[in-house]
Structures are given as structure tokens and as C-alpha cells.
Structure 1
Amino acid sequence: MSEKKKKKSPTREWWDSVLFAVIAATLIRGLFLEAYTIPTPSMEKSLLVDDFLFVSKVHYGARTPKTILQVPLTHQKIWFTNIPSYLDWIQLPNYRLPGFTKIKNNDVVVFNYPGTPLRPDPYGGHAEYPVDLRTNYIKRCMGIPGDVLEVKDAVVYINGEKLPEVKGIQKYYDIEFNTNPNEKIFEKADVSVLARRGEGGKYFYRINATAEGLEEIKKYDFVTNVYPEILPKGDTSSIYGAAFPYNSRLFAFNRDNFGPITVPKKGDKIILDEKNAALYGSVIATFDLNKNAEFRDGKVFIDGQEIKEYTWKQDYYFMMGDNRYESDDSRFWGFVPEDHVVGKAAFIWMSIDRDASLFNKIRWKRLFNIIK
């Protein structure tokens, strides 16, 4: 006669249910979909602060875990504390599972922020966290591996051709009026006013606007001039002028005039002359999967030996925010390595306006919008 199976206690059943839920949520989060919140305005007007979105891991292929000693369903800290949620004692090799598409120009991508060793980095980049726990950023991919990218007067060109701008890109303009305008015109056009001044009977407004918003403002007959706020080519003197790779002698790049540069592609070989070493040396030493690489005195060393040519070990991407003048992106810290890519921004499932009244908190028109 078989023994009667012992019934689980309520506590044991509760524990089994919680364990199953944690394992299932961890697998879904790691392999399929993960929820993110937009914390900053760097992608406005395409994505707004407090948009809640799902990021697809299956589009580009999910990464296998690298930092395995971690509290489940956390990122850098344990919830509501400043206590690290992980131990970096064990770091596994990083692999990417097959996806069903590649990153394309103008895709909106979530990635772990790499930072750059060429400037002080307060944002949780390569010096602070393992790859898979670096701070999550979301930007639009401008350049894919092998692309020759150039920004000319704030317009992006890829391989000599103008990259089509998506709806929602914002830039700064100075608008001149011959009368003091009612500021409701800016609200109606969904345009942000940054500064205002009067001078010699004229009124000047510095605005941050999409192309559509700018056209709405230009319809008024009391608009006399529009001045795009563009840094001249070679101007690296202002706080906005300094750009990657921070070598104005060899590369007088700024936020509005940058390049041309070639985005690194796996398998491509480069000659490490003075310019290429200055542009790519820190990337080779910090991100390209080399154990004993250094970039110092303008030269690249592997295992203590200076190298004169180099073959890339992984792909890289050039990312920019849609809010072009309020985004910390590849113009300022360089390329995104392939092993830092988290996934493709898929759709908005909730959007909250924290400044609105109680009954207008939810931005209903944004719910379940596909991200383009």
C-alpha cells in the first residue's frame, strides 16, 4: 500500500508560488520584455518624461547574464536603498541569443551607458559597474557599424546622404518678433520657451521646438526672423563645443558639426595613425574585449606592445537623443558597444504628466503607442 502524499503547508505553498513568480518574471525580463520609465527629456518630443514603455529583448536577441550574483529583479541597488544589489565576484562571458532583426538607422534603442575614459564620468559608466548593470540609456541610433557619419549644421548625414529626420526632433531657435507676443502661441505650438529679451523695439525668444512647432510659430505675421542656434564648424570654445574625442587639434568637433567618422564594425581593420589612435584608442582599450590593452600618450598598447593596426572584435553604434541640444549622447562620449545593447523600445503602455491636475494625470493619447 503506497504512502499518502503529505500535503504542503500554507507557508510552503505561498513560498513555492513566490519562487515560481520570481523565476518566471526574471526569465520574461531577461529574455523577452522589460519595463522602463523615461526619466529625462533627452528624447522629447518623441518620448516624454514619465512615459512607461516596454523594451523588446527578442528583436536584437537577448544577452546571457554576465553578473549572476544579483538580487532578482533589481538593477544596481536593492529597492528603496543605496545598497548594491550584486556582487561582481563572478563575471561570465557575454553572449547574445539570435534575434529576428538588426539595429537600423533611426531605431530607438535601450543600452547600458558606456561612458568614456576621456572625461570625468559621474553617470555610472564603464568605471563603476559591470556591463550589464551600467545605467540604462535610451537614444535613437544614427550610425550602424561601418557607416560614415557626419553632422553638418545639426543635420545628420550617413555615407554622404542626409538621414531622414523623424517627427519629434527638437532644436534651439531664436525667434525675432516686431511686437511682444502673447505666450499662448508657444503653448499652442507645443514649443518650450527658454529665454526672452527685448532690444531696440524688437522681441527675441529662444525656443526649443520641433520642425512642426517652428512652422506653427512662423505662421504669425509678426515674426520677422528665425535664427537656428548652430555652433559654427570648428568652434570648440563653449561648454557645448567640447565633443568626443576631446582633441581639438585633430578633431574640431562640436554638437552641431561632428565628423566625418567611421562607426567601428566587427572584422574591419584600421591603421592606428595619429588621428585613428586619438579617435579609437580609448575604445580599443576600454570596450573591445581586450584583457591587457592601454591607451596612453596617444598610442595603443596590447600586452605592453605598441600596435600599429587593429581589427575590431565587436560592432559599435552611434546614438543621439531626439532633444538634440539637451541630450548627453555619442557626440560627447563616443560609441555604444554591441555588448551594451539591451533591446528595442517597443511601445508605451502608460504615460503620466506629473504636473497635471488629478483628473488629467494620464496622457491617454500616448497609451499603447508604437515607438517609431
Structure 2
Amino acid sequence: MNWKFWQKENKDTKPKKKKSKSREWVDAILFAVIAATIIRVFFIEAYTIPTGSMERSLLVGDFLFVSKVNYGPRVPMTPVAFPFAHHTMPVTGTKAYWDGIQWKYRRLPGLSDIKRNDVVVFNYPQGDTVALEAQDADYYKMVRSEGWEAVNKHYTIVSRPVDKRENYIKRCIGIAGDTVSMKNGLVSVNGKPEKLKNTGNFTYEVTFKTPNVNFGIFQEMGFSMREGDPEISQLSATSYSFTGSEIMMEDVKKLDFVQSVKELTQPEGYQERDIFPFDPKKNWNVDNFGPIVIPKKGMTVQLDSASMPFYERSIRIYEGNKLEKSGNGWLINGKPATSYTFKMDYYWMMGDNRHNSLDSRYWGFVPEDHIVGKALFIWMSYDTNGSFFSKIRWNRLLKGIN
């Protein structure tokens, strides 16, 4: 008997059309892009260290893995973007995202809160406005120096969403609610002095007993003499400025031709124009400032001439309020207000290379919605002054970050 006579034709029994090689490649690439994007956004992402602001804790040429899980993954705020590009396309130089769709800040639960001394990656708070022809410069510093009209006349000015601002990496010195200050280069948090990490850099004045010194010994000790960015520079016939860690400087002190070693700081009372909160009434500088109270979610501040230099930007830019001066008082979103209650936590970030770091001393608080993740470990490191394979720093591979 021919059983095929009784069988109904079933579409599932038909042989499936085999995918073409090109279709298989497209599917594989699409899957890889989606999987990699999910990993980068919600789990872990690779970053590189482009500047010396964290030396010697982190060096130029270090490649890091940064955890998004520790503090909780931040849901993308600008969801329509080109994969693997941050804010600018690598070849065309055009925007790598579309800001026509903007989601509110949301963060998934994390393993822990940010703690003091954590090394944190975050979006640059003052990166909301950028002069395209001078992207390495701070727009607001340019305005203070050159004036708003001159900057906006000679440069192309763009605005960037929070998650498309430049990525920075610094050490968290103070968390929400802390009071930070600095005197003669020493940071205090809530009145307690916090010594610079042994791996951090500071500037010292070294005086020799004789002008005839062999500087090769300092290179052997780890000081860089590279052109354009030396860690040793001459001040007088026998005095030099050294940038190094406390441990390195202890070794310098032991040299028999060294007369003295002392920290080189700005004098107390000397005013630097670009130090936060840019108040001409405060004689603050990079080594002497404060006290400053870091805003905390639920904290209420009075709106007056004393508080507004510190908190005006947080209220207006970071928390999205319309803030206006009205006579002797203030209007928030069109309504008279004498106080303000913060909606987010904020942090104070500083580089370990204290005299070569653009950090909270220059632009203030880092809002919680700018936090990207926690730096975990170095997976690759090489000296950018040499060829890749000959300059790999083998002793830094898979090194944890403290």
C-alpha cells in the first residue's frame, strides 16, 4: 500500500531554504553587535587612560575594565546611537547619536553605593556645552577668559546629553553629605585629614648641595624625563621641581647630594580664578579651599548670596529647573523660593596626580546621573612613547585598582 496517498502535504516537511553565506555573516554580525552592546551598557566596558591626571595610580596607556554592575547599570538616556561610538563618529566627525529621543535618568539596582576612595568613571559634568574646534578646552573656562560673545562668535557650540559627555576617571574623595576642604595640599573630609595615596603624585621642591648632578639616577628611580612632559624641571641653579609619589620622594631624600625636599603648594590666601565656585570673594586655590558641603538627596539649602555660587549650577543644569534672580530673591520654575531640596546625590572627585588634574576643584560636584561605573582592573598597559610590543608594562597586566 502506498501510504503517501493518505499523507497530506505538510509545509514543515518541505526542505528549508539554506541561508546564503552573506546572510549568515549579516546575522552573525548583528548578533555580535547586540550582545556586545548589552554587555557594554549593563555589565562591563573597556576604557583607556589618555592623560596623566591619575598618575601613578593609573598611567597613560593603561586599559581598564569598568564595572557597570557595582553601582547599578544606568539605562541609556540617549537610546538611538551608533554602536561602539561615544559622541562622535570616528571618520566623519559627525554626531554618533540622535537626541530626538531622550529618556529620563534611571539606574538598575547595583551591588553597592559609591564609597570614598573608589576610582570612578563618570561623564564630565561641564561637558554639556562644547566648542567643537577646541574640544579639549573647557567651554565655561573659555567664556570666563574670553567672554561669551567672543567664544560663541568664533567657535561652533553644541550641547550634549548627559550620557554623551566625555568620560573622566578620578578618585571619589567625598560622597553626598560630606564636607570637604583642603589646606596646604592636604584634603580633609568631615574634618578628618585624608592623606594622598602612596601611588598618587604631588609636586616637591628639591634643593641640591651642588649644581653638578647626574639626572640619570632619577630616571632609574622612575621619574620621567620625556620631552614635553618631564617630571623634573629647573627652578634655580640648585633647585628643581619634582613630580612624584611620597615613596619616590623618600628615596630622593636619602641621596647624599640632596639638601632638602619640601612640598610645593600654592600659598594660603592666593586666589586662582578658575577654582570652584568662581567666587571673587573667596581667596581659594588648588591647594587651599573650602569647606564645601556636597549636596545629598533630600538635603535643603537656603537660596542666598552665600549658597548660590556653590549650588546654582546643580539646581539649574543638573536637576533641570528654571532658576531666575528676582529682586533680592529667586524664582524656581516661575515661583518665589527661599530654599531648595536636592533630588540627587552628588560626589567630589579628584585626580591622584594632584597638580595635574582637571577635577572637582575646577568644576564642582558630580551628579549621580553622570556616574558610569567603577574601575576594576587593568587588562593591558603599554608605554605610549615606544612601540607596542616592546613597551608592554608586564607588571601592570591584570592589576587591580585601589
Structure-1-length-normalised TM-score: 0.92
Paired residue secondary structure (1:90)? coil
Letter in structure 2 aligned against 1:349:
W
Paired residue secondary structure (1:67)? coil
- Counterpart in the other structure of 1:254: 285
Q: Distance in 1 between matches of 2:327 and 2:24?
A: 63
Deviation at 1:152, TM superposition (A): 1.2
Paired residue secondary structure (1:36)? strand
Letter in structure 2 aligned against 1:347:
F
Contact 1:116 1:334 in 2 (8 A): no
- Aligned pair 1:222/2:257, yes or no? yes
**Aligned mate of 1:68, from 62, 79, 87:** 79
- Counterpart in the other structure of 1:369: 399
Paired residue secondary structure (2:101)? strand
Deviation at 1:182, TM superposition (A): 1.0
Q: Percent identity?
A: 47
Paired residue secondary structure (2:400)? coil
Q: 1:86 to 1:216 in 2, by over 3 A?
A: same
Deviation at 1:72, TM superposition (A): 1.6
Where is the strand percentage greater, Structure 1 or Structure 2? 1
Where is the helix percentage greater, Structure 1 or Structure 2? 2
Q: 1:124 to 1:95 in 2, by over 3 A?
A: farther
Q: Distance in 2 between matches of 1:296 and 1:328?
A: 34
- Aligned pair 1:187/2:198, yes or no? no
Deviation at 1:124, TM superposition (A): 7.5
Deviation at 1:355, TM superposition (A): 1.7
Deviation at 1:94, TM superposition (A): 1.4
**Aligned mate of 1:325, from 350, 355, 358:** 355
Aligned residue runs from structure 1 range 265-284, under 5 A:
265-284=296-315
Letter in structure 2 aligned against 1:181:
V
Structure 1 window deviating more from structure 2 (43-52 vs 117-126): it is 117-126
Paired residue secondary structure (2:53)? helix
Contact 2:276 2:363 in 1 (8 A): yes
**Aligned mate of 2:170, from 111, 122, 139:** 139
Letter in structure 2 aligned against 1:258:
F
- Counterpart in the other structure of 1:263: 294
Paired residue secondary structure (1:247)? coil
Paired residue secondary structure (2:98)? strand
Q: Distance in 2 between matches of 1:168 and 1:345?
A: 16
Letter in structure 1 aligned against 2:347:
Y
Q: CA RMSD in A?
A: 2.4
Paired residue secondary structure (1:206)? strand
Letter in structure 2 aligned against 1:233:
E
Q: Distance in 2 between matches of 1:273 and 1:330?
A: 22
What is the count of residue pairs matched by the alignment? 364
Contact 1:113 1:124 in 2 (8 A): no
Contact 1:106 1:141 in 2 (8 A): yes
Aligned residue runs from structure 1 range 148-167, under 5 A:
148-167=179-198
| Runs (5+) with no aligned partner, structure 2 | 1-8, 141-156, 225-230
- Aligned pair 1:171/2:202, yes or no? yes
| Runs (5+) with no aligned partner, structure 1 | none
- Counterpart in the other structure of 2:41: 30
Q: Distance in 2 between matches of 1:17 and 1:95?
A: 31
- Counterpart in the other structure of 2:151: none
Q: Find the structure with the greater CA-based Rg.
A: 2
Paired residue secondary structure (1:106)? coil
Q: Distance in 1 between matches of 2:85 and 2:389?
A: 32
Q: 1:296 to 1:56 in 2, by over 3 A?
A: farther
Q: Distance in 2 between matches of 1:246 and 1:362?
A: 42
- Counterpart in the other structure of 2:149: none
Q: Distance in 1 between matches of 2:129 and 2:165?
A: 18
- Counterpart in the other structure of 2:276: 244
Deviation at 1:128, TM superposition (A): 2.5
Deviation at 1:335, TM superposition (A): 0.5
Contact 2:176 2:295 in 1 (8 A): yes
Q: Distance in 2 between matches of 1:40 and 1:277?
A: 32
